Amino acid sequence: MAKLGVGLLGVGEMGKRHAENLRRLVPDAHLVAVADVDAARARNAATELEIEHWYDNFEAMLERRDIDAVLIASPDRFHARAIQTAASAKKDIFCEKPLALNLNDAHAALDAVARAGVRLQIGFMRRYDPAYAAAMKRVEAGEIGEPVVFKSIGRDKDAPPLAVYQSNVNGMLFYNNTIHDFDLARWLMRDEVIEVQAYTTVAIRPEVADYGDVVA
């Protein structure tokens, strides 16, 4: 059976992590090429990862016939547009979360996927974590009855530097971390969110308060 040819968009921290995982943990996949708007970064990543082909243009990479699917690890603000571009090229898609930073972009991306008839998966990897998977099995087996309350506590390393917030390209902690809790709630409770109420404060990094993030 031929290996699945994969093209990677974005060779920052997450992109390189995905590339290493593909190489070490997914024997049925072959990382064909990488793309990044920064040509030097794309070239250096290709050399570091021992990948023959690199591009500074996503559309050009998508023209390759040996690429069956793409892995999108670009900054959050560009996810929805990249999904639409990949869908138009008839490539299956794995995209880092979040899908988009607003509902209009999210709907546009999903509409493009539906029109193209390709597959899209967003990187909610906690559903595959053995501990969460075991919890879901207990829920499905009825071992704990019908769940009525879901409580999740998340902790992460320190917030990024202020310059990262000012770049306005990523969803930061709320979109990148808390989004996992929303996904787990929907999954484990086997239901959709109807209403959201939020109470928070910025107690440690007051300088990021103006950016609407959550740093308690």
Q: What is each CA distance from 197 to 50, 193, 194, 200, in whole angstroms?
A: 48, 11, 10, 10
Among the residue ranges 14-18, 95-99, 202-206, the one predicted with the least confidence is 202-206
**Looking at per-residue confidence, does 10 or 200 come out higher?**
10
What pLDDT is attached to residue 166?
Answer: 65
Omega cis (within 30) before 130: no
Task: Give me the residues paired with residue 94 across strands.
Answer: 71, 121
pLDDT tens digits, one per residue of 19-53: 999 989 999 999 999 999 999 999 999 999 999 99
Contact between 36 and 42 under an 8 Å Cβ cutoff? The reply is: yes
Tell me the chain's radius of gyration from C-alpha atoms.
19
pLDDT tens digits, one per residue of 152-209: 887 777 666 777 666 666 767 777 788 899 999 999 999 998 988 877 777 777 777 7
Average pLDDT over residues 113-118: 98
What pLDDT is attached to residue 167?
Answer: 65
pLDDT > 80? residue 99? yes
Which homologous superfamily does the CATH classification assign to the domain defined by 4-123? NAD(P)-binding Rossmann-like Domain (3.40.50.720)
Distance between CA atoms of residues 31 and 50, nearest Å: 10
**Could you state, in order of their start, the residue ranges of all structural domains in the chain?**
4-123, 129-211
